[in-house]
Structure 1
Amino acid sequence: MKRIRIGMAMAAGLMAGTLVHAQDRPGFKDTPILPGGNWHVHDPDRPAPTVVTPPAALGGAPSDAIILFDGTSLDAWRGERGPWTLDRGVLTIPSRAQSGGENNLISRQEFGDVQLHLEFRSPNPPQKSSQDRGNSGIWFMQRYEVQVLDGYQNATYADGTVGAVYAWKPPLVNPSRKPGEWQSYDIIFERPHFATDGSLTRPAYVTVLLNGVLVQNHQAMLGTTAWRKIAQYQSHGDKAPIQLQDHDSPVSFRNIWVRPLPEEAIAQDLKGAGQ
């Protein structure tokens, strides 16, 4: 009954908005030390997770997110040749004739390891075919692309369809919605790491869910995305902008937010498993 009473007290304290101190948490100090760290199994002194308020609706931004586009402003972005079209809460790639040429959209803030959510919509009725149909892309650090494409009954090369790590890995499955329907991406991107001499010590990794379906599972990336070439790494800094690609197709976007990830969120091959 003692453990039950402690648990009830903790719950009451959390509901009341009070801080539960480590000495008030149940746990054990007579258990083995976990590998790679100093914590016992079920250690009561191990720091508790930070509380984050979840979104009120699916796809919404949690309380610790950085809002890049909420339908009201383009202040978080700059276009290479001017702003993209903002109409009734929707962001759309303008025509090349309107922009005067390729006009990628670049975040003003720079990021490294991130969780990203965005929603996109390909034109309806479909325009053209294959790579010219609903084509855009999400470029992490302006280098590493996850493909945006109209993938509904649209024949193209497998490593260039929606959900692909472009020019490298096709998606595990194709859960595309029909043209004109909103689709969602939830992506975890882990930046590459370089030694002081510029050599690669750890590649970039990406985990991708398209419409809630896993299409890339902690997939290593080959390097900076290239067309008709094998990607290669070149040393760069720890942070860089996120870029949305203009591929001369009027793809639309909404509800874009990111969560910069702390070091402990990175896959455990980078640091001790118990830390």
Structure 2
Amino acid sequence: MNRLFPPVTLLAFCLCTGATAQTAAKTSATPSPKTAPAVVTPAPGDVLIPAPSDAQVLFDGKDLAQWCRKDGSPAAWTVENGDMVVKAKSGNIQTKRNFGDCQLHIEWCTPENVSDTGQLRSNSGVFLQSLYEVQILDSYLNDTYWNGQAGSIYKQYAPLVNATKAPGQWNVYDIIYTAPRFNADGSLLSAARITVLQNGVLVQNNTTIKGTTFLEHPAYTAHGDAPIMLQDHGNAVRFRNIWIREL
């Protein structure tokens, strides 16, 4: 509802413009589109969240039966001590089933021993419908571009805050995804939207995705349900406890 307010008096204006630096710092805590998000320390602990009764388990620590390469051949990643491990240079993997609107739970971990910086530090990603990426990266004390760190919608939106745990600790993404809709002629009816919680902290709030995330100029091309894809970026990343609910 729009409301009209009376003119601000000169006194109020002076009080406002005379605000302290401390107040100014508080109001600037919300990150502008191209500044680094504030760091938030998530709650400690490492507890597996079991899949609810209506979920499909995509990885339970035993095998890669639910996954394959893009051409349908077996996924080339490995399973070690109950974790799905990226096998560098083996290619992306994707679910054998297609999905649209969904709730996706996925846990990921980067190596405790850090050897790289920026986008080379345990880079991966989870792609909804194989097109729209939520970035995975070791963003703990790691400078990189604002829309390329963990929790970002890659190259489109920075996370609201940086809630990444230290290397060697498990991070959790809970993703609520609404797929795009298209008209009969292939034109866009409604864009995809996504909400992401990282380690229980909101990092994307019903964000409107601009289009395919790895394009320089994001755009939509009509499509239907498609696989969930995990990225092999040539870096070491582990995954566990992956499940999905269709909405």
Q: What is the TM-score when the length of structure 1 is the normalising length?
A: 0.70
Q: Which residue of 2 aligns with 1:89?
A: 82
Cα distance in structure 2, aligned partners of 1:92 and 1:79: 15
Q: Which residue of 1 aligns with 2:17?
A: none
Q: Which residue of 2 aligns with 1:66?
A: 56
Deviation at 1:79, TM superposition (A): 3.0
1:232 maps onto 2:222 in alignment: no
1:244 maps onto 2:230 in alignment: yes
1:120 maps onto 2:108 in alignment: yes
- Out of 69, 87, 108, the position equivalent to 1:79 is 69
Alignment of 1:214-233 (within 5 A): 214-226=202-214, 229-233=216-220
Cα distance in structure 1, aligned partners of 2:235 and 2:135: 13
Q: Which residue of 2 aligns with 1:14?
A: none
Contact 2:105 2:174 in 1 (8 A): yes
Alignment of 1:58-207 (within 5 A): 59-80=49-70, 82-96=75-89, 99=90, 103-207=91-195
Partner AA of 2:78 in structure 1: T
Cα distance in structure 1, aligned partners of 2:53 and 2:235: 33
Secondary structure class of the residue paired with 1:68: strand
Identity of aligned residues (%): 46
Secondary structure class of the residue paired with 1:248: coil
* Deviations 1:95-121 (CA, angstroms, capped at 9, x unpaired): 22xx3xxx1011001100000001000
Partner AA of 2:124 in structure 1: S
Cα distance in structure 2, aligned partners of 1:188 and 1:231: 21
Cα distance in structure 2, aligned partners of 1:66 and 1:162: 25
Secondary structure class of the residue paired with 1:160: coil
Paired residues, what number? 198
Contact 2:59 2:66 in 1 (8 A): yes
Partner AA of 2:205 in structure 1: N
Contact 2:88 2:233 in 1 (8 A): no
Contact 2:88 2:232 in 1 (8 A): no
Of structures 1 and 2, the one scoring higher in RCO (CA 8 A, sep 6+) is 2
Deviation at 1:198, TM superposition (A): 0.6
* Deviations 1:168-190 (CA, angstroms, capped at 9, x unpaired): 00000001100110110000010
| Structure 2: unaligned runs, 5 residues or longer | 1-46
Partner AA of 1:95 in structure 2: A
Deviation at 1:207, TM superposition (A): 0.1
Deviation at 1:58, TM superposition (A): 5.6
* Deviations 1:241-270 (CA, angstroms, capped at 9, x unpaired): 000001000100000000000xxxxxxxxx
Contact 1:143 1:225 in 2 (8 A): yes
Larger gyration radius, structure 1 or structure 2: 1
Secondary structure class of the residue paired with 1:131: helix
Contact 1:117 1:185 in 2 (8 A): yes
Q: Which residue of 2 aligns with 1:15?
A: none
Partner AA of 1:163 in structure 2: G
| Structure 1: unaligned runs, 5 residues or longer | 1-56, 262-275
Contact 1:127 1:134 in 2 (8 A): no
Q: Which residue of 1 aligns with 2:10?
A: none
Contact 1:167 1:230 in 2 (8 A): no
Secondary structure class of the residue paired with 2:227: strand
Secondary structure class of the residue paired with 2:162: coil
Contact 2:104 2:174 in 1 (8 A): yes
Deviation at 1:88, TM superposition (A): 1.1
1:257 maps onto 2:243 in alignment: yes
With 81-90 and 208-217 compared, the bigger mean Cα shift is at: 81-90
* Deviations 1:43-66 (CA, angstroms, capped at 9, x unpaired): xxxxxxxxxxxxxx7621000000
Partner AA of 1:223 in structure 2: G
Tell me how large the CA RMSD over aligned residues is: 1.2
